[in-house]
Amino acid sequence: MITIGIDIGSVATKGVLIQGDHRWSAMVSTGWSPRDAGRMAIEQLLEISCLDMSQIGRTYATGYGRVAFEAAEKTVTEIKCHARGVVELHPQVRTIIDIGGQDSKVIRVGEGGRVLDFTMNDKCAAGTGRFLQVMATTLGLDVSELGMVEEPGQALDITSMCTVFAESEIIGMLARGNPKAGIIAGLHNSVGKRVAPMVRRLGVNREIAFTGGVAINAGVRRALEKELGCPLMVADDCQYTGALGAALLARQS
C-alpha cells in the first residue's frame, strides 16, 4: 500500500510518501494556514513521485497543525510518530530528543519503538528552534548558518534563560564588540543546558537519537553531547522523522 505521512509543524510542514522500498519527501513553510501547507506538501509529493491521489491508500497527519487538516484519515501524536520514525532509521535507539520550532521533547522508547515515557517543554521558547531563529535574526544570520559559524573554544556565557532577555543580552554583547562565533557557541550551550535536564529526568538510556529541525544544527548537537557525555545519532533527514513515522504507521495499520 502507498501511504503518506504529513507532519504539520509550527515552522515547517514535512511530508513523506512511501511506496514499497521507495520514499519521497517534501517540505513547505507552514505559514499562517496549516491546512494549505498540508495540501501543498501532498501536491509536491504526488508531483515528484508521479502518482495521483487515487493511488494513495492512506494518509496520516501529525504535528501541532494536524487537527486542522481534514484531508488525513487519521491523526497521530508527534510522540508516537517520532518513535516509529526513529526505530526505522536507528532500531537500537532507546531515547529520542526532538527539538522543533516551538517545543522540545524527550521520549523513552522500548523495543520496536514502543513509547515508554516522555517529557516535553512547550511552555517557553528557550530550548526550541524559535529561540535560535530569534537569535539568528538578532545576529544578522540565517538560522541554518549558526552551526557553521560557532567557535566552541570561544563560547561566551549567556545567562538569561528567557528568549526576550537573552536577545537583549546578545545585543549588549555585540555592542561591546564580542565575536559572533563566541556568542553563537554560548547560545548553543544554553540550549544544551536547557534540554539535557529533561533527558536526565527520564534517564540517559543509550543509544540516543536527535530529531527535528534543530538536529541539523551541529552546534546544538555538540552542546548536547557535551552535557550528556555521550554521542547522539542524527539521521540526514532528521527533520522528516515525524512525517516518516506517520507514513509507516499508516502502512502498518
Residue 85 has phi, psi (to 5 degrees) of -65, -40
CA–centroid distance for 96 within its chain: 11
Q: Is 65 one of the binding residues for ligand ADP (CB under 6 A)?
A: no
**Looking at 192, 217, 234, 249, which residue binds ligand ADP (CB under 6 A)?**
217
Burial of residue 220 (CB within 10 Å: 0-12, 13-18, 19+) is buried
Please give the single-letter amino acid code of residue 33.
S
**Looking at 101, 182, 192, 245, which residue binds ligand ADP (CB under 6 A)?**
101
Site for ligand ADP in 134-153 (CB under 6 A): 143-144, 147
Q: Is 11 one of the binding residues for ligand ADP (CB under 6 A)?
A: yes
**Looking at 5, 15, 100, 192, which residue binds ligand ADP (CB under 6 A)?**
100
Q: Is 213 one of the binding residues for ligand ADP (CB under 6 A)?
A: yes
Sequence-separated (6 or more) residues with CB below 8 Å from residue 121: 103, 104, 105, 127, 128, 194, 195, 198
# residues contacting ligand ADP (CB under 6 A): 21
Dist CA 15 CA 27 (whole Å): 6
Q: Is 9 one of the binding residues for ligand ADP (CB under 6 A)?
A: yes
Dist CA 104 CA 133 (whole Å): 15
3-state secondary structure of 136: helix
The CB density around residue 125, as the number of other CB atoms within 10 Å, is 20
Q: Which stretch binds ligand ADP (CB under 6 A): 42-50, 109-117, 171-179, 209-217?
A: 209-217
Sequence-separated (6 or more) residues with CB below 8 Å from residue 36: none
Site for ligand ADP in 174-193 (CB under 6 A): none
- The nearer residue to ligand ADP, 144 or 253, going by C-beta atoms, is 144
Q: Is 10 one of the binding residues for ligand ADP (CB under 6 A)?
A: yes
Q: Is 49 one of the binding residues for ligand ADP (CB under 6 A)?
A: no
3-state secondary structure of 171: helix
Of 67, 129, 61, give the one whose Cα is nearest residue 97. Answer: 129
**Looking at 26, 139, 214, 235, which residue binds ligand ADP (CB under 6 A)?**
214
Q: Which stretch binds ligand ADP (CB under 6 A): 49-57, 67-75, 82-90, 95-103?
A: 95-103
| Helices 180-202 and 218-228, axial angle in degrees (round to 10) | 50
- The nearer residue to ligand ADP, 148 or 171, going by C-beta atoms, is 148
Q: How far is the CB of 8 from ligand ADP (least distance, A)?
A: 8
Q: Is 102 one of the binding residues for ligand ADP (CB under 6 A)?
A: yes
Q: How far is the CB of 225 from ligand ADP (least distance, A)?
A: 16
- The nearer residue to ligand ADP, 102 or 205, going by C-beta atoms, is 102
Furthest CA-CA distance within the chain? 61
- Binding residues (CB under 6 A) for ligand ADP: these are 9-12, 63, 100-102, 129-130, 132-133, 143-144, 147, 212-214, 216-217, 239
